[in-house]
Amino acid sequence: MADPKIRDTITLAEARRVIEAAEKKAAEIAQPMDIAVCDAGGNLKAHVRMDTANVGSISISINKAYTAVAFQCQTADLTSDTRPDGPIYGLSDAHGGRLAVFPGGIPLVRDGHIVGAVGVSTGTIEQDQEVAEAGAAAF
């Protein structure tokens, strides 16, 4: 077999940079957060639970990052379509309940390809989105 290559994905250094920027924004708005970064396959690359961030939000942050990769969009973009009157209502129950269809998950794109995603949880959905955007901007 000729030297196989793994598809381009986020590096640990890049994941740490995303988390650091998200942590900084969370501190600025005085809202401790759970911040996750996953790779191009939706697998966890790095996670931080800031002091006093909700324990229950650990899996939510990871699931937001996963969902952003799995559906190749921001999780905020799925909110209206997954409401009871939406065309894909019930999507949040797919994948064994692993999908998060509310703001806070953003794909990380390099050269037009998704190479990972950031997911943030513990604050309001507006705060989660703001912190995720700060992390994504650092990518």
pLDDT of residue 3: 67
Q: How many CB atoms lie within 10 A of CB 59?
A: 17
pLDDT of residue 2: 64
Distance CA 34, CA 58 (A): 6
Per-residue pLDDT reduced to its tens digit, 88-122: 898 888 878 899 999 999 999 999 999 999 999 99
Q: How many CB atoms lie within 10 A of CB 4?
A: 5
Domains of the chain, start order:
12-137 (3.30.450.150)
What's the whole-model pTM score?
Answer: 0.93
pLDDT of residue 95: 76
pLDDT of residue 10: 96
Is the pLDDT assigned to residue 1 strictly greater than 60?
Answer: no
Mean pLDDT rounded to a whole number for the chain = 94
Q: How far is CA 99 from the centre of its chain?
A: 11
Per-residue pLDDT reduced to its tens digit, 20-35: 999 999 999 999 999 9
- Name the strand (E) or helix (H) holding 12: helix 12-28
